[in-house]
Amino acid sequence: MGTLLENSWVVAVGNYQSPSRFGVSVEPAIEMVRRNLGALQDCEPLPSYTVVGLFDNEADAREWGRRIQAMRNDRADIQDVLTRPPAED
């Protein structure tokens, strides 16, 4: 495969259940493409994820992954506050 894939990093969101419940992964793009092609060749179900970033270095990809996680965690914190029963005095 081309140099572009071999030198790129992907940030992906997977196991999406809600805006506050999903996983974030950072990995070399070539690994993701190989995994997808392998699933196709073996007639297996394709992984369920959405690519949310493509970077030319790992540091930038990991920073973007942390931002996505922070956004998710902020939403989870807000949801927790909104669904928590009122404290009894």
* 65 vs 78: CA distance, rounded Å: 20
- Whole-structure pTM value: 0.80
Nearest to 13 by CA among 71, 58, 76: 71
Residues 53-71: tens digit of each pLDDT? 999 999 999 999 999 999 9
Phi, psi of 43 (to 5 degrees): 55, 40
* 67 vs 9: CA distance, rounded Å: 16
Residues 23-42: tens digit of each pLDDT? 999 999 999 999 999 999 99
